[in-house]
């Protein structure tokens, strides 16, 4: 089954006629504490393992979608900047291919306006909140009124991690067993953890050397340790879920950090090797480990880039901020944002 067939199946009983002139939707960004790394189906972005993230409150993307003049080009504007639709950047190619899935006629053109407050270069999975906001806006434009889990499924076709960006708080993206991925969707966890803090440590704001899409593919195909990943991952996920249910921060930190390090270790053993970690990343890790040795409950996670995301509790905010003066601190559960 390809993406178009899935979209057709999901939208079978919805109206083909847009019900509104525009659609607008906000989706938060999310950070995985147990990572998605490797696909069992590359076309449908179906994961080998489940993953678990925490959403970033008001940090995310808000997209407004409308129709542009038929037959011309899609109009894509990000933070007020017009994107060159003829560029062969992965961003434009992937986005246009995704929009193709939702054109009522081949000549329909969309106008996509996205505002994002995600700190630039923070490696904050902008594709996650981007595709989630886009499909949410599409739902509004057409008036489909699809449940969030169906939007999660559709967003996954654009970017895997986008399946987790429809809820605040902790979200598990379930692996699912169906071949067409109908059950591989995000599920919101009920626990709120108001004292949890995430620190964005931007060490190098340059864009990544290799896309996560490509890096996952190479890791899965060539790392001799990939076969051990599902088992290690299942262990980390179970530990993390238990930590969340018991509000055990040390367990949450240890499981998250270990999961990220295992993901990067696998990448080192891929061929060609994939190294997102930089000298500054290693220095920051040592600083975190030293602080921990001295009694500070401070952990990190790392995605497909050199930057780190720190995990700590509200009570240690000042100490952590003193260690990393430029840290951007996010309180993911504050202001009653769990919806």
Residues forming the site for ligand PMV (CB under 6 A) = 32, 35-36, 51, 125, 127, 159-161, 212-213, 303-304
Q: Which is nearer to ligand PMV, 35 or 197 (CB)?
A: 35
* Residue 227, CB-side half-sphere exposure with 13 Å CA sphere: 2
Q: State the minimum distance, in angstroms, from the CB of residue 229 to ligand PMV.
A: 13
Closest CA to 94 of 57, 131, 122: 131
Q: State the minimum distance, in angstroms, from the CB of residue 126 to ligand PMV.
A: 9
Q: State the minimum distance, in angstroms, from the CB of residue 13 to ligand PMV.
A: 29
Q: Which is nearer to ligand PMV, 56 or 125 (CB)?
A: 125
Task: Report d(CA 225, CA 220) in Å as an integer.
Answer: 9
171 pairs with which residues across the strands? 53, 188
Q: State the minimum distance, in angstroms, from the CB of residue 179 to ligand PMV.
A: 21
Task: Report d(CA 195, CA 316) in Å as an integer.
Answer: 10
* Cβ contacts of 279 within 8 Å, gap of 6 or more: none
Q: State the minimum distance, in angstroms, from the CB of residue 49 to ligand PMV.
A: 9
Q: Which is nearer to ligand PMV, 18 or 233 (CB)?
A: 233
Q: Quote the crossing angle between the two packed helices 126-142 and 148-156, to the nearest 10°.
A: 120
Q: Which is nearer to ligand PMV, 34 or 323 (CB)?
A: 34
Q: Rg (Cα) of the chain, in Å, rounded? A: 20
DSSP 38-69: -EEETTTTEESS-EEEEEEEEEEEEEEEEEE-
Query: The tokens 């969030």 sit on which residue?
Result: 148
Q: Which is nearer to ligand PMV, 55 or 161 (CB)?
A: 161
Q: State the minimum distance, in angstroms, from the CB of residue 112 to ligand PMV.
A: 18
Q: Which is nearer to ligand PMV, 32 or 56 (CB)?
A: 32
């Amino acid at each position: 089954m390809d993406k178009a067939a899935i979209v057709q199946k999901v939208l079978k009983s919805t109206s083909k006629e847009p019900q509104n002139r525009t659609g607008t939707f906000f989706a938060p960004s999310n950070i995985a504490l147990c990572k998605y790394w490797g696909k069992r189906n590359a076309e449908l972005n179906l994961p080998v393992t489940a993953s678990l993230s925490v959403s970033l409150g008001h940090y995310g993307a808000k997209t407004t979608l409308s129709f542009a003049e038929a037959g011309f080009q899609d109009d894509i504007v990000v933070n007020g900047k017009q994107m060159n639709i003829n560029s062969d950047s992965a961003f434009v190619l992937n986005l246009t291919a995704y929009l193709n899935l939702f054109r009522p006629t081949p000549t329909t053109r969309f106008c996509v306006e996205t505002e994002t407050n995600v700190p630039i270069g923070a490696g904050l999975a902008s594709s996650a909140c981007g595709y989630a906001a886009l499909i949410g806006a599409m739902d509004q434009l057409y008036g489909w009124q699809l449940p969030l889990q169906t939007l999660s499924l559709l967003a996954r076709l654009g970017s895997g991690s986008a399946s987790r960006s429809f809820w605040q708080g902790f979200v598990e993206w379930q692996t699912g067993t169906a071949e067409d991925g109908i059950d591989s969707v995000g599920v919101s966890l009920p626990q709120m953890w108001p004292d949890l803090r995430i620190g964005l440590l931007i060490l190098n704001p340059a864009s990544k050397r290799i896309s996560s899409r490509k890096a996952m593919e190479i890791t899965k195909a060539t790392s001799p340790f990939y076969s051990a990943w599902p088992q290690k991952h299942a262990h980390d996920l179970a530990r993390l879920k238990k930590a969340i249910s018991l509000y055990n921060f040390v367990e949450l930190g240890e499981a998250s950090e270990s999961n990220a390090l295992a993901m990067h270790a696998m990448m080192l053993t891929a061929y060609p090797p994939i190294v997102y970690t930089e000298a500054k990343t290693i220095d920051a890790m040592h600083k975190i480990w030293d602080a921990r040795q001295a009694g500070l409950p401070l952990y990190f996670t790392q995605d497909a880039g050199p930057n780190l995301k720190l995990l700590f509790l509200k009570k240690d905010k000042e100490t952590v901020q003193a260690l990393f003066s430029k840290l951007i601190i996010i309180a993911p559960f504050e202001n009653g944002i769990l919806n």
